[in-house]
Amino acid sequence: MRILILGGTAFLSREIAGKAVTAGHDVTCLARGTSAEPPQGAHWVRADRSTGPAAYSEVAGEWDAVVEVARDPEPARQALAGLAEKAGHWTFVSSCSAYADHSLPGAAEDAELLPALAPGETSTPENYGESKVAIEEATRNATNGRAHLCRAGLISGPGDPTDRYGYWPGRFACNSGPVLVPAIGHRPTQVIDVRDLAAWILLAAEEGITGPLNAMGDLVPFAELISASHQASGTNSTIITADEEWLVEQGVNYWSGPESLPLWLPPGHDGFMARSNRNAKAAGMVLRPWRETLAATLDDECSRGLDRPRNAGLSPATERRLVEMLHTGGRA
């Protein structure tokens, strides 16, 4: 197959490109390449999509499959206008953030979506879900039923730049004092390995699978993830558990970003990491055992440096301060 990947240099899109090359496909990546390059064996068309429709001039023509990972609706619409008519299959990597309600566990693809970001409105991290919905709508309109709308969940595994999943095995491996965790042991986590997601996207393109499908991992209780992270690290770190209300009072952030406790979700998000992945699995999506993802993530954490600055998690100073507060009269 002739496959065009709009991207191909970072995390998921690079993993897709690599798997496609390994499978023997003729792969072209359209990307700026300012921080990384496509995998060896892929053709690289250097282009900056922010320049507008002209960015696609070198890749105009017929493609068996196109893979789009955009977050901003405007370049996505421009790519569709220039390429969709001659593409046999189109994949748009959307997100479970496109759903309007995150409170209901087990929700499937028929759940209500957010309103689409209006044309001309600037795409920002705050309207990420609305931006993805807008691209879904544009993709449907331009591809006449030839599109796979891959609604991905939290993606992790080797190379994850967000640190949302790798924080936990990496934190235990640091072996630098007590590890502070939120008291949410019974709640689910739901992570899909980037390698499994890339394989699923490629399979769907090869087999012409279309429609919206939730590409989510299987459910793993938070306490089980923490225990496995501790065990895999081989350290004897003490685990300190803190109540959610107390953590909020101390200014600890949910989910991701600086001074956060990753995978800890705010109220009203009981279904955010508990969506149904049944339809994608029935269509051929295969998930490796989650402990394999954890082990590979820990190896990656160690190779990248356990003491490196992180995009998610508590700083060592903040964690020490909070643990000390709990030891001297803080409520936990």
Class of domain 2-152: alpha beta
Q: Where are the alpha helices (DSSP H) in the chain?
A: 11-22, 73-83, 128-143, 167-174, 194-207, 222-233, 244-249, 278-282, 290-304, 316-327
Domain boundaries, the chain: 2-152, 160-190+220-274+289-327
Distance CA 180, CA 241 (A): 6
pLDDT in tens, 147-180: 999 999 999 999 999 999 999 999 999 988 999 9
**pTM score, two decimals?**
0.95
Give the pair of three-digit tokens for residue 10. 């970072």
The reported pLDDT for the residue numbered 35 is: 79
The reported pLDDT for the residue numbered 204 is: 98
The reported pLDDT for the residue numbered 140 is: 97
Residue 14's Cβ-side half-sphere holds a number of Cα atoms within 13 Å equal to: 16
Distance CA 197, CA 114 (A): 23
The reported pLDDT for the residue numbered 330 is: 61
The reported pLDDT for the residue numbered 48 is: 94
Is CATH 3.90.25.10 the right assignment for the domain spanning 160-190+220-274+289-327? yes
For residues 211 and 140, the answer to whether their CB atoms sit within 8 Å is no
Q: Which residues are CB-contacts of 10 (< 8 A; sequence separation ≥ 6)? A: 35, 36, 161
The reported pLDDT for the residue numbered 33 is: 82
The reported pLDDT for the residue numbered 57 is: 93
The reported pLDDT for the residue numbered 288 is: 98
Q: Which residues of the chain have pLDDT under 50?
A: 332
Q: Which residues are CB-contacts of 106 (< 8 A; sequence separation ≥ 6)? A: 271, 274, 275, 276
Residue 165's SS3 state is coil
Distance CA 163, CA 310 (A): 6
The reported pLDDT for the residue numbered 331 is: 56
Residue 285's Cβ-side half-sphere holds a number of Cα atoms within 13 Å equal to: 28
